[in-house]
Amino acid sequence: MKSFVWHPNTQMKEWDSFTKIVKAKGMWLTDSDGNNLLDGVASMWCNVWGHSKPELINAITKQSKKIQHTSMFNLTNAPTEELAANLIKISPRMHRVFYSDNGSSAMEIAFKMGLQYWNNIGEKKKTKIMALEKGYHGDTFGSMAVGYVPEFFNKFKNQLFSTIQIPVPNKYKIPKGYSYQDYQNFCIDKIENIFSKDEKIAMFVMESGAQVAGGVNIFPEGFQRKISKLCKKYDVLLVLDEIATGFGRLGSMVQYTEQRSIPDIVAYGKMLTGGYLTMAATLTSKKIYKSFLGEFNDRKHLFHGHTFTGNPLSAAVANENLKLYQKYNLIKKIKKTSKIFEEYYEKILELKIVGDVRHKGMLMGIELVKNKQSKIPIHPKKSINKIFFEEGKKQGIYLRTLGNIVMIVPPLAISENELNMLLSRTIETIESAQNQVV
Ligand X SMILES: Cc1ncc(COP(=O)(O)O)c(C=O)c1O
* Residues of the shown chain interacting with ligand X in the complex, contacts defined by CB under 6 A: 102-104, 107, 136-138, 207, 212-213, 241, 243-244, 269
Give least dist CB 104 to ligand X, A. 3
Which one-letter DSSP state was computed for residue 79?
H
Closest CB to ligand X among residues 237, 402: 402
Least spacing, CB of residue 409 vs ligand X, in Å: 10
Find the shortest distance in angstroms from Cβ 214 to ligand X.
9
Residue 175 Ramachandran class (φ > 0 left, ψ -120 to 50 alpha, else beta): beta
Q: How far is the CB of 306 from ligand X (least distance, A)?
A: 12
Strands 201-207 and 128-132: parallel
DSSP structure string for 86-146? HHHHHSTT--EEEEESSHHHHHHHHHHHHHHHHHHTT-TT--EEEEETT----SSHHHHHH
Q: What angle do CA 180, 185, 186 make, to 5 degrees?
A: 95
Number of neighbours of residue 307 by Cβ within 10 angstroms: 10
Q: Determine which helix (DSSP H) or strand (DSSP E) holds 182, and give its type and residue range.
A: helix 180-197
Rg (CA), the chain: 22
Closest to ligand X by CB, 136 or 344 = 136
When CB distances to ligand X are compared, the closest residue is 103
Choice between 40 and 353, CB closer to ligand X: 40
From the CB of 324, what's the least distance to ligand X, in Å?
21
Yes or no: say if 281 and 100 are a contact pair by the CB < 8 Å rule.
Answer: yes
Q: How far is the CB of 270 from ligand X (least distance, A)?
A: 7
Closer to ligand X by Cβ: residue 359 or 425: 359
Instruction: Let me know how long the chain is.
Output: 438
**Per DSSP, what are the bridge partners of residue 405?**
367, 402
Residue burial 231-263, b: 16+ Cβ < 10 Å; e: rest: beebebbbbbbbbbbbbbbbbbbbbbebbebbb
Minimum Å distance from CB 416 to ligand X? 26
The rounded distance, in Å, linking the Cα atoms of 180 and 37 is 39
Residue number, 102 or 252, with CB nearest to ligand X:
102
User: For ligand X, which is the closer residue by CB, 278 or 434?
Assistant: 278
For residue 187, give the nearest of 131, 235, 149, 138 by alpha carbon: 131
Q: Please identify, using beta-carbon distances, which residue of 412 and 433 lies nearer to ligand X.
A: 412
CB of 45 to ligand X, least distance (A): 6
Of 210 and 353, which has the nearer Cβ to ligand X? 210
